[in-house]
Chain A
Amino acid sequence: MTHLNQDELVLFYYDESDLGGDRSHLDKCAECQAELTRLARVLDQVRPVDIPEPDEGYEGRVWDRLQWRLRGEKKRQSSFARIAAVAAIVIIAFISGLMWNRRETTPAIQTASTGTQPGNATPVKNTPAQQQQSRDRILLVVVGDHFDDSERMLLEITNLTPKEDTDITVERERAEELLASNRLYRRTALDRGEEQVATLLDELEPVLLEIAHAPDTMSANEVRSIQKRVETKALVFKLRVVRADVKADVRATATPHLNQPNV
C-alpha cells in the first residue's frame, strides 16, 4: 500500500485535496491519519500575526505623504518638457539681450516710418533696464518654484525615520530632476549677477548630487548621514530665507511694470 506523501498531506491540511492525494486512502489508513495529525500540530502553532490597528487619522497621513509623491510623479512625467521650456526661456532672453545691445549700437532710432522727428520720438520699446528687469523676473519666478520643490524634497529626507533599507526611490528621482534644473539656474543666476541665489544653488548642488546618486534603498546610517548633511548646511532654512527674498524681488520687479503703459 502506497502511503500519502508529505506534500499530499499538506494539501489535505489546507483542504485542497482536489489538487492531489487520495482521500479514500486517507480515510482507511491509520498511519497517514497519524502523520496528518502530526503535520496539523505543527502548522496549527503558526498563528496569524496580531496586527496593530493604525490609529485614527491613518488614512489622512497616508494621503498627505502620497500626495507629495504623486506630485513628484506628475512632475517627473513633465520634467523633460519643463527643463526644455526653461532652457528656451534662457535662450530667448539671451538672444533678445544680444539683439537689444545691437540696436543700442545703431546710431539712429528708426523713426522715419512713423514720420516723427528723432527729438520728438515716443519710445515704444522697453528700456534696456526694463528688459533686464523682465528677464530677471522670469528667472526669479522659475527659481522660486525650484526652491519650493527642493525644500519639499529635503523635508522628505529629513523627516525619514532611519531604518535599514529605507526606500528613497522617489526622493532620489526628484533630486535627479532638480539637479538638472539647479545647474541651469545657477549658471543663469551667475550671468545675471544674482549672487545670493547663485550661492544657494551652489550649496544645494552637492546635496542634490549625493541624493540623486544614492541607491534606491539606504541603510539607517546612510539616512542619518545625509540628514545630518542637510541639517548642518541649514539648507531648508536657507531655502526659506532666499525664497522669501526672491518673492519680494519678484514683487519689486513686477510693480514698476504695472505703471508702464507699454508692458
Chain B
Amino acid sequence: METTDIDLVESVRGGNDDAFRILVERHSRSIYRSAYRITANGADADDVVQETFLRAYRALPSFDSRAAFNTWLHRIAINCSLDLIDSRKRREGRIDVSEDLSFLASHDASPDRIAHGTEMRRAIATALDALTGNERTAFVLRHFEGMPLEEIGQILGTRLNATKNTVFRAVRKLRQHLQPFTGSLV
C-alpha cells in the first residue's frame, strides 16, 4: 500500500529527507501544471516548482496534518507564481508569452480566420500580461481551474468581496483589450 502524504510529512518532520523526495516526485508534475497556467512559461514554472518545495520544506513544521497536503502545496505554488509575476513586473519585465499563444484553438482552415485567430491569441496573451499578479492569478484560478471565488480568496488571502472585485477587474480589462477582435464576434 502506498504511503500517504501525511505519513511522509511526519517522516520528514522526523528528519527523513528521503520521505521528502517521495513527496517531491509525487507532486512535482501537478505543481508544474498549476504554475504553468499562471506564468505561461516553462522556465518560470520550473522555478516555481523549486521555490514551492523549498518553501514547503521550510514550512513543514507548521503544516497542519488535518489539511490535505496537496491543497496546501498548491496554495504555496500559486503564491510563488504570484510572487514571480509581481517581481517581474516590478523589474519592468513583461511576461514572456512567446511560448504560449495557444489560448485559442482555431481549427478553421480559412486564411482570414487563421490570421484572426493568431491575432486574437496574441491579443489575449497581451491582455493577460497587462493584468496585475493578483488579477491574473484570480482570473486563471476562476476561469481555467474553475475554482470557486471563496477558495481563491483563501489562497490570495483576500476577503470574498475583494476577490470578486479582482476577478471583475480582470474581466473588464480583458474585454477592453479584446474589444477590437470580439466586436466582430459579437
B105 to chain A, nearest CB (A): 6
Q: Which residue of A lies closest to B48 (CB)?
A: A167
Across-interface contacts of A52 in B (CB, < 8 A): 36, 42
Q: How far is the CA of A16 from the CA of B43 in the complex (A)?
A: 34
Q: Cβ of A19 and Cβ of B149 under 8 Å apart? A: yes
Give per-residue flags for B17-39: 1 if the beta carbon is below 8 A from chain A beta carbons, else 0: 10011001100110011001100
Q: How many residues from B make CB contacts under 8 Å with A?
A: 55
Q: Which residue of B lies closest to A53 (CB)?
A: B29
A238 interface residue (CB < 8 Å to B): no
Q: Which residue of A lies closest to B182 (CB)?
A: A42
Main secondary structure of the interface of A (DSSP, over half): helix
Main secondary structure of the interface of B (DSSP, over half): helix
Across-interface contacts of A161 in B (CB, < 8 A): 43
Across-interface contacts of A10 in B (CB, < 8 A): 167-168, 171
Give per-residue flags for B119-156: 1 if the beta carbon is below 8 A from chain A beta carbons, else 0: 01000100010000000000000111000110000000
Across-interface contacts of B58 in A (CB, < 8 A): 73
Q: How large is the interface on A (under 10, 10 to 19, 20 to 34, 35 or more residues)?
A: 35 or more
Give per-residue flags for A32-63: 1 if the beta carbon is below 8 A from chain B beta carbons, else 0: 00000011011101111111101000111011
Q: Cβ of A63 and Cβ of B88 under 8 Å apart? A: no
Q: How far is the CA of A208 from the CA of B136 in the complex (A)?
A: 37
**Residues of A with Cβ closer than 8 Å to B?**
6-7, 10-11, 14, 16, 19-20, 38-39, 41-43, 45-52, 54, 58-60, 62-63, 65-67, 69-70, 73, 161, 163-165, 167, 170, 217
A/B interface sample: 30 pairs, CB < 8 A? A6-B171, A10-B167, A10-B168, A11-B164, A14-B142, A14-B143, A41-B185, A42-B182, A42-B185, A45-B182, A46-B128, A47-B104, A48-B37, A49-B36, A49-B40, A51-B32, A51-B36, A51-B37, A52-B36, A58-B32, A59-B24, A62-B28, A63-B25, A69-B54, A70-B54, A73-B57, A161-B43, A165-B87, A167-B47, A217-B91
